[in-house]
Amino acid sequence: MMVSRIYRTILFAAWFSLISSNCFASGAEKEIPRKEGILLVAFGSSEKSAQVSFKNIDKRVKATYPGIPVRWAYTSRIIRDKLAKQGKYLDSPETAMAKMQDEQFTHVAVQSLHTIGGAEFHDLRRTVGAFRMTGGFKSLVLGYPLMSTQEDMEKVVEAIEATIPAKRSKEDAVVLMGHGTHHPANAFYAALMFQLQLDDPNIFVGTVEGYPEIDLLNKLLLEKKIKKAYLIPFMSVAGDHAKNDMAGAEDDSWLSILTEAGIECVPVLKGTAEFGEFVDIWVEHVGESLKKLAENS
Ligand code: CO
């Protein structure tokens, strides 16, 4: 399935570069002038509350790199289909890149707004690779997600510590809810918890769809005799997972499970991208890509 997807992407990109390069036109083509652009690629969200996060990123990228046009794409087809039913049309990365080629962008910095380099990021890598092969852009650079290098990890630790509600005391736990994945990059969540705990032993990181699971965190919290916990999403947006899996009323929500265990829970419904501390890390990654673009004439 994956192979056919890549194959389709390449065919589509090749087809698009054929039309956009006007290779059937007669006469000599003029050299296309340099035109830089930024493509921001998020998983996407259909939740209205998530728009705060996306607007914040958009604003900060434009303020930091003024004069460079910014485009958006969502990697999640489910989210795009859902939004299309409401009359909101978001591009896939493939479509967004094809459109940018058609608009004669020559140098593009694609920035992943994902948290870890999981399946979505690797799909994006393949798409970027396919577009590179067609030669439609002079330079196409992909920026890493939030947590990639060790330097990123240290900045994320600082961002988490800086954005924990001020009224939390050190005896209270902070329980972060990451998304989690079957992808090998899931190991980043436990790595993050390790690095956070070197600094603050009562900060925990779990995931909805991977390891560490809530049952393990529950056990660790009880071992440490935690009485109160702040539940905070570790996702760019406080969307469906934060509202339901983390803070929902259902028996299997993290709030219900920990409350049942005798821990007072304080849910915080804010995504990481609502805070400048996290957004700055993605914005810096865009800057690194722009630097690479500048090296290519
Ligand atoms: Co999900």
10-residue mean pLDDT profile of the chain (297 residues): values are 60 59 52 94 88 93 98 95 94 98 97 97 97 94 97 98 97 98 98 98 98 98 98 95 96 98 97 96 98 90
CA–centroid distance for 112 within its chain: 6
pLDDT score, position 171: 97
The answer to whether 232 touches 204, Cβ cutoff 8 Å, is: no
pLDDT score, position 16: 59
What DSSP state is assigned to residue 250?
A: S
Ligand 1 centroid – CA 27 distance (Å): 51
pLDDT score, position 50: 84
- Amino acid in position 208: V
Ligand 1 centroid – CA 203 distance (Å): 22
Ligand 1 centroid – CA 243 distance (Å): 12
Q: Is 285 a catalytic residue?
A: no
The answer to whether 208 touches 179, Cβ cutoff 8 Å, is: yes
Ligand 1 centroid – CA 164 distance (Å): 23
Please, where are the H alpha helices in the chain? 2-20, 51-64, 77-85, 93-102, 119-134, 150-163, 187-199, 214-223, 240, 254-260, 276-295
Ligand 1 centroid – CA 241 distance (Å): 7
Is the overall model pTM greater than 0.75, yes or no? yes
8 Cβ neighbours under 8 A, 6+ residues apart: none
pLDDT score, position 28: 52
User: CA quadruple 214, 182, 40, 78: dihedral positive or negative?
Assistant: negative
pLDDT score, position 25: 47
pLDDT score, position 11: 63
pLDDT score, position 31: 81
Ligand 1 centroid – CA 45 distance (Å): 10
Please name which of 140, 141, 130 lies closest in space to residue 4, comparing C-alpha atoms.
130
Ligand 1 centroid – CA 244 distance (Å): 11
pLDDT score, position 49: 79
pLDDT score, position 29: 59
Catalytic residue among 107, 114, 122, 179: 179
Ligand 1 centroid – CA 184 distance (Å): 16
CA 113 to CA 157: how far, in whole Å? Answer: 18
